[in-house]
Amino acid sequence: MPKTIKNVAVMTSGGDAPGMNAAIRAVVRACAYYDLKCFGYYRGYQGMVENDFVELTPRSVKNIINRGGTILKSARSNDFRTPEGRQKAYDNLKDNEIDAAILIGGDGTFTGGLIFSEEFDIPVVGVPGTIDNDIRGTQFTIGYDTALNTVVDAIDKIRDTASSHNRLFFVEVMGRDAGFIALNSGVGAGAEEILIPEENLGLKKLLESLKRSKRSGKSSSIVIVAEGDKTGKNVFELAEYVKQNLEDYNTRVTVLGHLQRGGSPTCFDRVLASRMGVKAVEFLLDGQRDIMIGIENTKIIATHISEITKGHNQINRELLRISDILSI
């Protein structure tokens, strides 16, 4: 017999992503629609451990659908990793008569949620929010589309100055373990070469590719480097290496960093967050627990968290081939 749900907790955890506010808004308003109370916990699990929360009504989430960041703040909680921390969180939730929790974040967030739900009787539903797009069980995560557009806009600007000065730019983008941002922004912005964690291009091939670009008459070039690329050199070392080996290249480096995590969400991310937030509440009311909401071929789906945390979303290798052909 599924638990009767009356009071729902919502929180954002891990790296923030544009569209998290739109997801919070959707959860809060869907709760109100179904006559449930909704409580926002600040700084992810840390807010549960410290009992730092606020009751959220439909009017508390006005004018946030367009705002980047998260009104509930985000954090990675060390206390929640310990059994004592989780016990504290549970005691607080119980005192506040919370019946279930909606977790907006990445796979680390969901792993913690599953442990919590198995230790104590608090059903959880995950909503994937990360710019990295590397979560299994969904084709798209909230924030990814916005980050991609931010990166493409930045590369377009870099291209202007690169071409004015006949320079080779190395642009580092986020993605410690995943090349989604690098690969898709690279194809979208017409980069000459894309270095991602999933595929080690190798330094020799990089030099060959840049020589090929010169031979074909290109006067400027852009190389996109994901944070976690596997050449064994960071972006500054890479630029230096190329300078040492290809003397006629005038190189510069831009690290885009955390600006990729901010900004107003795109319409795609707002709609995705709205759909996922409403469905998270509806799945809970249907008696589902310990699942993550995803989108697959335009349909909203649910997958058990134990499946989600078994691996990562895979990049589309076809895009590497397309990039290679188009950078001729």
Supply the residues annotated as catalytic: 132
Q: For ligand F6P, give the closer residue by CB, 3 or 81.
A: 81
Does 13 bind ligand F6P (CB under 6 A)? Our answer is: no
CA-to-CA distance for 118 and 102, rounded, in angstroms?
15
130 is an interface residue for ligand F6P by CB under 6 A = yes
Subset of 217-276 contacting ligand F6P (CB under 6 A): 227, 261
Burial of 162 (C-beta count, 10 Å sphere; 0-12/13-18/19+):
buried
Stretch of 31-39, 61-69, 173-181, 297-305 lying at the interface with ligand F6P (CB under 6 A): 173-181
User: Which C-beta is closer to ligand F6P: that of 148 or that of 174?
Assistant: 174
Q: Does 132 interact with ligand F6P (rule: CB under 6 A)?
A: yes
CB of 19 to ligand F6P, least distance (A): 13
Antiparallel, parallel or unpaired: β 291-296 and 299-304: antiparallel
Other beta carbons within 10 angstroms of residue 62's beta carbon come to: 9
Q: Is 19 left (phi over 0), alpha (psi -120 to 50) or beta?
A: left
Q: 40 or 179: whose CB is closer to ligand F6P?
A: 179
> Which backbone phi and psi does 7 adopt, to 5 degrees?
-125, 125
| Cα radius of gyration rounded to whole Å, the chain | 22
Q: Is residue 176 a contact point for ligand F6P (CB under 6 A)?
A: yes
Near ligand F6P by CB under 6 A, which window of 126-134, 151-159, 192-200, 230-238?
A: 126-134
Task: Report the alpha-carbon distance of residue 7 to residue 5 in Å, rounded.
Answer: 6
Residues interacting with ligand F6P, by CB under 6 A? 15, 106, 130-132, 174-176, 227, 261
